[in-house]
């Protein structure tokens, strides 16, 4: 089968499409024929690990431990292991699994996989899991139910998911910061107030927020303190900030009223099912910026690295 692989760190050019062995599902796995996948920002950063050396502790010091690429997928079940009872051949599914930039991927039936929303195409379904699940698990510790929340970087895959989940699941009062080109998109997703990052500095405004979530790592707790409520929470999950965020999180736990939290995302099956339910109720919609063919993986990754995408970048796998 065709799959995206890489065996060294570097620019997106280290990625290539090769013929590899097709996976064989084990006892409790399903074999999914992948129709659509994506390139996420975290994966692009993983390839450029020379710029994020801290991550090599987890991915491999000199060379990547795993040579596969991709995580989000949507497709249909082509084969089931002998112990599988929750899925059947032909079921349309979506979810997360390492190595998803490939024609087939073997997924545990109890893993992060669920039935694809019937209203969505494969491409739309593939654009959901990573951003939505990271948004959910990062938000829960801040308890944003019916609070005033600002999302900085609201047009990316995590930011656009965050806006929708806050507005339509947590029923929060959402303000969002994004570039000029994304104002209408973010407004349609459910943000009550949308601030043009290129025209206005939200940290100099009069509004205050119970929670500020930085989805792109381009603000800081110091800059945001003035517009953070007395007992508010500043959330970030960007790797560039994580080097000193744990220390700030520890200090603000004992000093002052405002808190810093590091958003540590988790992928859980029950959260994927929750998001599918929101889609089925027309309370969540995927945002797709561009689509590339699997063979255009290098161009797709360069585009993601440019940092200008709105929503997700999808790979189609014919």
- CATH number of the domain bearing residue 215: 3.40.50.720
Q: What confidence score (pLDDT) does residue 240 get? A: 47
Nearest Cα residue to 68 out of 103, 25, 31, 116: 103
* DSSP H/E element including 39: strand 29-39
Q: What is the DSSP letter of 170?
A: S
Same domain, 11 and 70: yes
Evaluate whether residue 276 is within a structural domain: no
Residue 315 has pLDDT above 70, yes or no: yes
Same domain (yes/no): 87, 119: yes
Closest CA to 101 of 56, 55, 35: 35
Mean pLDDT to the nearest integer, 72-90: 97
**Closest to 75 measured CA to CA, from 23, 39, 128, 37:** 37
The helix, strand and coil proportions of the chain, stated in percent and rounded to the nearest 5, come to: 35, 30, 40
The answer to whether residue 51 scores a pLDDT higher than 80 is no
Region 179-183 average pLDDT:
96
Domain that holds residue 239: 131-262
pTM for this model (two decimals): 0.90
Q: Are 36 and 102 in contact (CB under 8 A)?
A: no
Regarding whether 137 and 114 lie in a shared domain, the answer is: no
pLDDT of amino acid 253 = 62
Q: How confident is the model at residue 251 (pLDDT cuts 50, 70, 90)?
A: low
* Co-location of 135 and 211 in the same domain: yes
Examine the domain organization and report whether 70 and 143 are in the same domain: no
Tell me the percentage of the chain whose pLDDT exceeds 70. 89
Q: Specify whether 113 is located in the same domain as 175.
A: no
Mean pLDDT (the chain, rounded): 90
| Placement of tokens 């947590």 in the chain | 170
Based on the fold, state whether residues 143 and 123 are members of the same structural domain.
no
The answer to whether residue 275 is domain-embedded is no
Q: Are residues 112 and 179 in the same domain?
A: no
Could you give the number of structural domains in the chain? 2
**Res. 159: pLDDT tops 90:** yes
* Structure token pair of residue 251: 């200090």
């Amino acid at each position: 089968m065709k799959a995206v692989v890489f065996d060294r760190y570097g620019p997106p050019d280290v990625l290539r499409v090769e013929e590899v062995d097709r996976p064989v599902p084990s006892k409790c796995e399903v074999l999914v024929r992948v129709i659509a996948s994506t390139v996420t920002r975290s994966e692009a950063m993983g390839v450029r690990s020379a710029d994020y050396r801290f991550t090599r502790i987890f991915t491999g010091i000199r060379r990547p431990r795993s040579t596969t690429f991709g995580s989000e997928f949507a497709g249909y079940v082509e084969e089931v292991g002998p112990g599988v009872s929750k899925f059947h051949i032909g079921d349309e599914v979506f979810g997360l699994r390492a190595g998803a930039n490939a024609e087939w991927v073997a997924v545990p039936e109890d893993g992060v996989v669920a039935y694809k929303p019937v209203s969505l195409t494969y491409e739309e379904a593939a654009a959901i899991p990573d951003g939505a699940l990271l948004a959910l698990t990062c938000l829960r510790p801040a308890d944003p139910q019916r609070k005033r929340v600002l999302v900085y970087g609201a047009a990316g895959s995590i930011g656009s998911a965050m806006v929708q989940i806050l507005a339509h699941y947590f029923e929060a009062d959402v303000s969002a910061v994004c570039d000029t080109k994304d104002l209408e998109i973010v407004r349609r997703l459910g943000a009550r107030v949308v601030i043009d990052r290129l025209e206005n500095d939200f940290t100099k405004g009069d509004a205050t927020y119970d929670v500020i979530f930085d989805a792109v790592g381009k603000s800081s707790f110091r800059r945001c303190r003035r517009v953070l409520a007395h007992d508010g929470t500043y959330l970030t999950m960007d790797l560039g900030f994580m080097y000193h965020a744990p220390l700030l999180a520890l200090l603000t736990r004992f000093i002052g009223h405002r808190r810093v939290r590091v958003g540590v995302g988790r992928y859980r099956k029950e959260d994927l099912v929750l998001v599918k339910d929101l889609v089925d109720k027309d309370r969540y919609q995927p945002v797709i910026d561009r689509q590339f063919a699997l063979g255009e993986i290098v161009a797709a990754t360069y585009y993601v690295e440019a940092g200008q995408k709105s929503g997700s970048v999808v790979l189609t796998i014919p």
